[in-house]
Structure 1
Amino acid sequence: MNDRLHPKAVADAVIRNAMTIDVEDYFQVSAFAPVIDRDSWAGRECRVERNVDRILALLARGNVHATFFTLGWIAERYPQVVRKIVAGGHELASHGYGHLRASDQTREEFRDDITRSKALLEDIGGQQVLGYRAPSFSIGTANLWALDVLQEAGYRYSSSIYPIQHDHYGMPDAPRFAFYPNGPDGLLEVPITTVQVMQRKLPAGGGGYFRLLPYALSRWMMERVNQVDQQSAIFYFHPWEIDPGQPRPEGASMKSRFRHYVNLDRMEGRIAQLTRDFKWDRMDRIFLGK
């Protein structure tokens, strides 16, 4: 795991960071799986359409192009969401079909999931799907075989490893920046961004941490990655994170509720500020030279 890729910078030496969105709805998150039956998804209020529309408008105002890691389940039911993403000049990538954690699937189940979602997205979006992100960053030490399966299925890169210690995911010993796990002819893995402080890797790539921490601290961490490490930051969020009015299912643990709902009302404004404070682009353009 020593073959690191150094991302390209724009001509003016300002490093481009990758803006990424994991397209799933509030009832599909892993934290709510114990209280929301998968069979109930089709009957629940789906809010992803309006939220993606708001995100697309926000990105357009900031002249930002992003990568949308999209569930096949969403694409199949709301193909217009996929078409709007592509029409906006954004990269369409895969988040799997039904938000099943890669670590909960066998090799064959995983192959079927990523193949199905890739074909579906390509058929609707009319563009090749090169990238994949595992739900809940569920590729790690115990299932690195998933990276081989992704390459066999025609993917060029993955953004599925979070090199931190977490109770639901994480591979703390993984490299902090883009690397080829099986050499330069293999799949490229682009981990979610962390910042090195002393001997610890701290999460700096978005999601719940971005909602919880003061904006100035998150900005400092990304600036440090750009200026000290001279690397692109990978930032991610979900459409439901800009939707404080979403339905709230009963029965979730206090920890899950806190993680999911903290500062939802501030998220859209913070993302808008990010578009002004940093240079952004799509994953494929930064890491594959598209």
Structure 2
Amino acid sequence: MKDSCTPTFTLSIDWEDFGQILCRDYCSLITQPLKTIDRQTNIILDTLSETNQKATFFILGMLAQYRPDLVMKIASQGHEIAMHGQHHVNMRRLSRKEAHKDLSDSYNLITDIIGAPIHGYRAPYFSIDESNLYVLEILSEMGLIYDSSIFPMKLRRYGIANFNTSDMLYELPNGRSLVELPLTVIDWKQKKIPVAGGGYMRLLPKFYLDRVFRDLSKRQQNVMLYMHPYEFDTEYINCSENYPPGTSYSKTRTFIANMRWNLFRNSIRPKINALLQSYNFITCLKKAENVKKHTHSPTVLGCPQ
């Protein structure tokens, strides 16, 4: 039975191809994605259809340019299409001008594919922190309604310490406003613990996650789950299959990547299925629209110039 309470759960999919990104990182080449993205996308869509739930897909531009048919398939089933940037680069490494180009290229590509505007964004690697909050201003100037890039705790590679864990509408230095939908963390023994996606979802046991999400639901706390297509795939993934013949690459680095990304993937589908069957889910856009109606933080995100 799904809870009768106001829905606060959202499943977001960072729609990207594992092998394509690693080939870009390890070989400095952007290649066509493998056909495994078909299987992985279909698994997600079938899972959502079977549970009568909708999700938000943050579409990566360099994958969409090769597989616009899959983007259209996702949209045709009523799921929200949002953007994940064009080339899956760490936004902290880009200048404001470069960030604007990446976002604009992604927006134009995806809206051309689906023939409709998009309203939300998630930065690759959750790479929005105190150093580049101007990205939120760029998003607002493009007409987007929300962002979902901020981890509300400081981790080694990303996050903002002590950031508000609640969904909130914020004012920006450019005079516009934007809804931020942060990733879900929990308080445990006076520390914040990430629980709601990716490797955390793979590593944490199902009984523990069941208890965590049951408690979050009772407290009406926002829950933002984030997953990737490969995590739904139970077949072994070898990222080197994406490397063009004759490509020079580190076999040790590739072995470590394969070991890391195949770890505990078989546990994902039962965990996600249980959540989809137990709670009401809404898209990021619907959540952001609700937030705009009911919240408004006096905090200005960023520094006026």
Q: What RMSD in Å do the two structures reach over aligned CA positions? A: 2.4
**Counterparts in 2 of 1:16 and 1:140: CA distance versus 1, 3 Å:** same
Match in the other structure for 1:225: 216
Amino acid at match of 1:162: F
Match in the other structure for 2:87: 98
Residue ranges of structure 2 left out of the alignment (5+ in a row): 241-250, 293-305
Amino acid at match of 2:180: E
TM-score normalised to structure 1 length = 0.87
- Report the alpha carbon displacement of residue 11 of structure 1 after superposing the two structures with TM: 11
- Report the alpha carbon displacement of residue 55 of structure 1 after superposing the two structures with TM: 0.6
Distance 1:72 1:57 in 2: 23
Contact 2:126 2:150 in 1 (8 A): yes
The 5 A counterparts of 1:22-171 are: 22-29=14-21, 32=22, 36-39=26-29, 41-42=30-31, 45-171=34-160
Contact 1:195 1:224 in 2 (8 A): no
- Report the alpha carbon displacement of residue 46 of structure 1 after superposing the two structures with TM: 4.6
Amino acid at match of 1:204: V
Match in the other structure for 1:7: none
**Counterparts in 2 of 1:60 and 1:12: CA distance versus 1, 3 Å:** same
Distance 1:61 1:168 in 2: 36
Distance 1:107 1:185 in 2: 17
Counterpart secondary structure, 2:169: coil
Distance 2:274 2:3 in 1: 23
Residue ranges of structure 1 left out of the alignment (5+ in a row): 1-9
- Report the alpha carbon displacement of residue 242 of structure 1 after superposing the two structures with TM: 1.8
Q: Identify the range of structure 1 (68-77 vs 212-221) with the bigger mean alpha-carbon deviation.
A: 212-221
Q: Which residue among 203, 208, 229 is the counterpart of 2:199?
A: 208
- Report the alpha carbon displacement of residue 106 of structure 1 after superposing the two structures with TM: 0.8
Counterpart secondary structure, 1:92: strand
Match in the other structure for 1:3: none
1:19 aligns with 2:8: no
**Counterparts in 2 of 1:103 and 1:46: CA distance versus 1, 3 Å:** farther
Match in the other structure for 1:194: 185
- Report the alpha carbon displacement of residue 182 of structure 1 after superposing the two structures with TM: 2.3
**Counterparts in 2 of 1:22 and 1:43: CA distance versus 1, 3 Å:** closer
- Report the alpha carbon displacement of residue 258 of structure 1 after superposing the two structures with TM: 5.0
Contact 1:162 1:171 in 2 (8 A): yes
Over residues 223-244 of structure 1, what are the superposed CA-to-partner deviations in whole Å (9 max), with x where a residue is unaligned? 222222x222000100011223
Amino acid at match of 1:36: Y
